[in-house]
A and B are shown apart, each in its own frame.
Chain A
Amino acid sequence: DIQLTQSPSFLSASVGDRVTITCRASQGISSYLAWYQQKPGKAPKLLIYAASTLQSGVPSRFSGSGSGTEFTLTISSLQPEDFATYYCQQLNSYPGTFGQGTKLEIK
């Protein structure tokens, strides 16, 4: 099974900051990686798919990059509504897997 490891697990930042979250896969998954945002009590929301493609309606301050085993999610200028938990996920092969999550908190 493919394992996904996110770092950091917790991130404290301020409005306007640029932040980057990393997701490493235990084996190559080409570009089959997605990023989700989840707020408390809500379903996850798709942000990025195919490693770098922005889902329709998602603000352009979100971007993704990477391929193979290392991927990043970058938020260029944090907005108040961006404080949430972020997950990476691979569906390149089953069982599908999620990273353990990165909780982004207000400094």
Chain B
Amino acid sequence: EVQLVESGGGLVQPGGSLRLSCAASGFTVSSNYMSWVRQAPGKGLEWVSVIYSGGSTYYADSVKGRFTISRHNSKNTLYLQMNSLRAEDTAVYYCARETGGNSLDYWGQGTLVTVSS
């Protein structure tokens, strides 16, 4: 059974850093495109970043230069390193697997990141 479990969210001050983890089971992270998507409280979904199976990465303009997506192959885990956090980064962060059909077929339950002093 495919499962994605995020962790690492919490309260952080503006300018601070946080690393989110997404532990996968039932499939191999490194063989798939893996994405992060976020949702600010009461708002819509925002695509954040993707890492290809080959290692290429892409970011939303709103996080480029501050966030880094990566993976640990032996741990079968996806990461999102978030630096220079701002209040507008406050959101539930979801990891998701991208299918060959250019869609996200499996999602984690989400982890809440709150940026506030």
Question: Which residues of A does B touch, CB under 8 Å?
Answer: 1, 32, 34, 36, 38, 43-46, 49-50, 53, 55, 87, 89-92, 94-101
**Cα of A63 to Cα of B99 in the assembled complex, Å:** 19
Q: Which residues of A contact B102 (CB under 8 A)?
A: 32, 34, 49-50, 90-92
**Cα of A55 to Cα of B105 in the assembled complex, Å:** 8
Residues A96 and B47 in contact in the complex (CB < 8 Å), given A34-B103, A50-B101, A91-B103: yes
Q: Which residues of A contact B61 (CB under 8 A)?
A: 1, 95
Question: Which residues of B does A touch, CB under 8 Å?
Answer: 35, 37, 44-47, 50, 58-61, 94, 98-99, 101-105, 107-110
Q: Which residues of A contact B98 (CB under 8 A)?
A: 91
How far does the Cβ of A87 sit from chain B's closest Cβ, in whole Å? 6
Residues A46 and B103 in contact in the complex (CB < 8 Å), given A94-B50, A95-B61, A96-B50: yes
A-B pairs with CB below 8 Å: how many? 67
The residue of chain B having its C-beta at the shortest distance from the C-beta of A50 within the complex is: B101
**Cα of A87 to Cα of B46 in the assembled complex, Å:** 11
How far does the Cβ of A89 sit from chain B's closest Cβ, in whole Å? 7
Cβ contact within 8 Å between B109 and A100? no
**Cα of A36 to Cα of B104 in the assembled complex, Å:** 9
Residues A87 and B45 in contact in the complex (CB < 8 Å), given A94-B58, A96-B50: yes
5 shortest interchain CB distances as A-B pairs: A34-B103, A49-B103, A96-B47, A94-B58, A43-B107
Q: Which residues of B contact A44 (CB under 8 A)?
A: 37, 45, 94, 104, 107
Q: Which residues of A contact B58 (CB under 8 A)?
A: 94-95
Residues A49 and B46 in contact in the complex (CB < 8 Å), given A43-B109, A44-B107, A96-B35: no
Residues A98 and B45 in contact in the complex (CB < 8 Å), given A1-B61, A43-B110, A91-B98: yes
